Structure 1
Amino acid sequence: MCEYVLSESAVGELCHTLKNKICKGYIVLLRGDLGSGKTTLVRSFVASENKQCKEEVTSPTFSVAQAYKSQDYGVIYHYDIYRKDIQDMLELGLLEMFEEEGLHFVEWGDERLEKILRQNGFKVMSITINTNATLDNRIYKVAL
């Protein structure tokens, strides 16, 4: 596990590091409290991949999934499964969605989902984001 302590404005540095560790087909599970910076990380990653992206990257809370064009990954998929029952999501085809070629970011991807993904042969990275109450920094714990 690698740990990075970064300000919100320096998240791009982490995105650069992530690009060297992940390839098409990866599923990146994002964990952290509300407001910890999960969507900010995805927004920064999408911006670093597609300078021409005119779409605003927002959390797909109500739509569950959004897709953005990417130079290196073809498509970056962004999911928000906050308060969604994993079993219901699987029955609705979540695993099939992860089979789409591209890179997948999943906000609120818990250990149960990680276990299911690994059992089904998916490449998974998890990033846990913690806030630092005394500083304007986030602590990103990255595990492959």
Structure 2
Amino acid sequence: MKKVYSLTLNEINSLVDDIRRDFQEGVIILQGDLAAGKTTFVKKIAKKLGYSEDVTSPTFSLQQCYTDKLFHYDIYNHGLEHFIALGMLEELEKPGLHFIEWGSDELVDILTSAGIQTMTIKIKKISDNAREYIICTH
């Protein structure tokens, strides 16, 4: 299934609500250029789930755990092979929502073949205040 949203940053909560309703557990792969809004999207989800602490990209730490059901990964600096070598795929089996910034189609294939519910969100910057979100469930 594929859906496309064109939203301003003020309208993103409608997308967050749709995803929370339709995808309550599994891995969400976030793809997009630098500054496209990947971490901003995770911040909005975390806020919707009642998490009030600061949400930052785990660019250098690889993983952030915000609650026992909300996880955030960034594989930009280390790559998929390093992520797998560290045994991080096992982390993705934990109940909850797992957001992976810079996840590839290869990772999607690995997750779906393992039976892990997976969604891809491709984020494209339209303007300083608007983004296009292409949502695909696998």
TM range (shorter): over 0.9
Shift of 1:12: 1.3
Supply the RMSD in Å over aligned alpha carbons. 1.3
Shift of 1:119: 1.2
In the aligned structure 2, how far is the partner of 1:10 from the partner of 1:67?
26
Using structure 2 for the length normalisation, give the TM-score: 0.93
Equivalent pairs counted in the alignment come to 136
5+ residue gaps, structure 2, are none
In the aligned structure 2, how far is the partner of 1:143 from the partner of 1:47?
23
Q: Percent identity?
A: 35
Aligned to 2:6: 5
Asked if 1:20 is matched to 2:18, the reply is no
CA deviation vs aligned residue, 1:3-40 (integer Å, no higher than 9, x gap): 0001112211110010111122x100000000000000
Aligned to 2:44: 44
Shift of 1:91: 1.4
CA deviation vs aligned residue, 1:83-138 (integer Å, no higher than 9, x gap): 322122111111111011211010001101111111111110000000114x7310
Letter of the 2:66 partner, please give it.
Y
Using structure 1 for the length normalisation, give the TM-score: 0.89
Aligned to 1:65: 63
Asked if the contact 2:16/2:45 (under 8 Å) is kept, the reply is: yes
In the aligned structure 1, how far is the partner of 2:114 from the partner of 2:62?
21
Aligned to 1:114: 108
Asked if the contact 2:27/2:119 (under 8 Å) is kept, the reply is: yes
* Regions of 4+ moved over 2 Å: none
